[in-house]
Amino acid sequence: MAKALSVVARAGIARAVDPVAGALLRIGISPDAVTVLGTIGVLVGACGFGARGHFIAGTVIVTLSAFTDLIDGAMARKLGRTGKFGAFIDSTMDRVADGSIFAAVAYWLGTQHRTWGAAAALICLVAGQVVSYAKARAESLGMTANVGVAERPSG
C-alpha cells in the first residue's frame, strides 16, 4: 500500500516539477546552479530570519528553497546527466541546509536563554548529520541503508 502511494505521489510531483525543470534548462541554468541557489535560499531563511525569531517568514523561505532539491534532480535526468559530481554536490548542499536550520533554531533558543531547547536543537543537528553519514558509509561498504520513516524524496 505504501509503495503504491509513493508511486502515485512521485507521478504527481513529476507533473509539477518537470515543466519548471524544462524551463530552467531552456534558459541555460544548470542543475548544479539550482542546487547551490536552493541552499543559499535555505541559509537566508534559516540564518537571516529563523535565527532572529521570524519563524513564519523563515519557514516559508526554507520550504520554497527546499523544492529546488526536487527540481535539480529532474533537470539532471532531463539532461541525462545523473553523475557522481551532481550527486555529491546535491548531498553536500543538503547537509549544509539541514545543519543551518537546526543551528539557527539553536542560536535563537540560546539568545532567549532556553538552554534545554538549544541543547535539543543541537542534538537534532548532530543526529541528522550522523544519519546521513551512516547511510553513506554503509553504502560505501557495499551494504544498503534504505530504511526509515522520513526518507527524502528522490529529486
Residues with catalytic function: 94
The 3-state DSSP class for residue 146 equals coil
* CA 130 remoteness from chain centre: 15
Cβ neighbours of residue 138 under 8 Å, at least 6 residues apart? 144, 145
What cell numbers appear for 125 in the block? 543537528
Cβ neighbours of residue 15 under 8 Å, at least 6 residues apart? none
